[in-house]
């Protein structure tokens, strides 16, 4: 096997290594030179309610061009992770051209539900590792104002002959109640967890911790009563609800009866609009171009489980990823796990025995929001910013995935450490 082939194989299917091996710097490492995001806005009533998906994309892509100090002609492919809009491939291609990328840059979209942003990063990284491209841009984006991704009809009858296949039709709220009921994740536990997520997000926002990961986005907002438009600049996430307490959450009515009585609007992720972008290339290319290296992308993996308890997906994806690199959770400094629901977040925290002080330090989707396709990329921007703030090295991101999967990604921070 040639040295180049060995390098390619190691990037795609790395042998068991350990902390010292994954923190070693090599020319063929896949690195991140930029990771930024829009503010996260409340769906249907927030800052992006009148800016469609293609509008969000073009505005973020323009920010990437302005901040990357890179000739856009060098970016060979752009991948956008999105869940709810079947026209995302159209919007991706048009938005990139509108943002100043030349027609020689390619573009496409991917959808693996809530991991779509991370899947986009993995896809671009794998293309770079195999030599298909030298530089690529991965985005995650969602405009939940426009509606969700609910099924318009039941599955084909032959599929429904297998009960577990039919479980893929269960609404996400129902799967949350399944987790709470099956594993005795009580309403009290869920509300206490949610209150802490809100508290952390409030602390982080007031302290300005999000400021270096968020780029300002100018939008026009229509007054719903008069129809009058005004131009505003979005700079902060709209999800944090200052002063939220366990006691106030206890007063909220369950949202998913008759499936259960534990999950509700206050301990579930918020409907949100937003996007995030991650620029990737090999270390050698970054050094050649004088690009700042934020982090090394180590790897990512996906795993499946029963659709009816899809929320606990991180508990199968995280051990699988750590095993591939001969790591344990003790080796991880910062952990970002998507809070689709408090039920799954509590289950993951307890089952994996995670130190809560290093998980979702700035709060999670309960407090910040969960723009479905965006989250996998947003977690990277947030996690690397937190690593920089704390001068920590190893970042792990993970999320549950609708229909019963989990995904996890591993990164080495190289900023100020």
Q: Which residues are catalytic?
A: 114, 370, 400
- To which residue do tokens 């300005």 refer? 208
Structure tokens at 60: 């973020």
Name the phi and psi angles at 228, rounded to 5: -70, 140
Instruction: Record the tokens describing residue 23, joined without a space.
Output: 């923190």
Distance CA 144, CA 44 (A): 8
Dihedral pair phi/psi, residue 100, rounded to 5°: 110, 5
Nearest residue to 408 via CA among 316, 295, 271: 316
| Kind and range of the H or E run holding 297 | strand 295-304
Q: Among candidates 371, 187, 159, 417, which has minimal Cα distance to 273?
A: 371
Strands 135-143 and 217-222: unpaired
Sequence-ordered alpha helix ranges (H) in 82-235: 88-98, 116-129, 163-166, 172-182, 187-207
CA distance 269 to 250: 16
| Length of the chain as a residue count | 417
User: To the nearest 5 percent, what fractions of the chain are helix, strand and coil?
Assistant: 40, 20, 40
* Count of C-beta atoms within a 10 Å radius of residue 264: 23
- Which contiguous run of DSSP H or E holds residue 366? helix 365-368
Give me the residue label for tokens 């090295």. Answer: 393
Say how far apart CA 211 and CA 36 lie, in whole Å: 10
CA atoms within 13 A on the CB side of 247: 1
**376-395 exposure pattern, b = at least 16 Cβ within 10 A, e = fewer:** bbbbbbbbbbbbbbeebbbb
Q: Which residue is associated with the tokens 């699988």?
A: 320
């Amino acid at each position: 096997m040639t040295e180049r082939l060995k390098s390619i194989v190691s990037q795609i299917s790395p042998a068991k290594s350990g902390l010292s091996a994954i923190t070693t710097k090599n020319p063929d490492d896949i690195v991140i030179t930029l990771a930024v995001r829009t503010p996260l806005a409340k769906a249907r009533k927030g800052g992006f309610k009148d800016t469609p998906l293609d509008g969000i994309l073009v505005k973020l892509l323009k920010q990437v061009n302005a901040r990357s100090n890179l000739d856009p002609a060098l970016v060979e492919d752009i991948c956008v992770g999105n869940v709810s809009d079947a026209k995302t491939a159209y919007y991706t291609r048009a938005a990139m051209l509108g943002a100043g990328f030349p027609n020689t840059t390619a573009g496409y979209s991917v959808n693996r539900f809530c991991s779509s942003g991370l899947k986009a990063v993995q896809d671009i990284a794998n293309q770079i590792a195999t030599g298909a491209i030298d530089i690529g841009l991965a985005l995650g984006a969602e405009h939940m104002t426009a509606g969700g991704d609910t099924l318009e009809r039941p599955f084909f009858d032959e599929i429904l002959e297998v009960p577990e296949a039919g479980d893929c039709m269960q609404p996400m709220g129902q799967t949350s109640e399944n987790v709470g009921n099956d594993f005795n994740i009580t309403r009290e536990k869920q509300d206490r967890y949610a209150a802490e997520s809100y508290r952390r997000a409030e602390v982080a926002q007031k302290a300005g911790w999000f400021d270096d990961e968020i780029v300002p986005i100018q939008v026009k907002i229509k007054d719903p009563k008069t129809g009058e438009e005004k131009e505003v600049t979005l700079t902060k996430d709209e999800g944090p609800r200052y002063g939220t307490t366990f006691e106030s959450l206890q007063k909220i009515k369950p949202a998913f009866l008759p499936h259960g009585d534990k999950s509700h609007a206050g301990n579930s992720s918020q409907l949100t609009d937003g996007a995030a972008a991650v620029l990737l290339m090999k270390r050698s290319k970054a050094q050649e171009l004088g690009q700042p290296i934020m982090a090394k992308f180590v790897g990512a993996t996906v795993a499946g489980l029963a659709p009816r308890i899809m929320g606990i997906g991180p508990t199968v994806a995280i051990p699988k990823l750590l095993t591939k690199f001969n790591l344990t959770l003790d080796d991880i400094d910062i952990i970002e796990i998507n809070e689709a629901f408090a039920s799954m977040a509590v289950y993951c925290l307890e089952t994996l025995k995670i130190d809560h002080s290093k998980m979702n330090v700035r709060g999670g989707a309960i407090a910040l929001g969960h723009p479905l396709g965006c989250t996998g990329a947003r977690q990277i921007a947030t996690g690397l910013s937190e690593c920089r703030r704390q001068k920590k090295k190893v970042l792990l991101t993970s999320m549950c995935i609708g229909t019963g999967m989990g995904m996890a990604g591993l990164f080495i921070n190289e900023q100020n450490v």
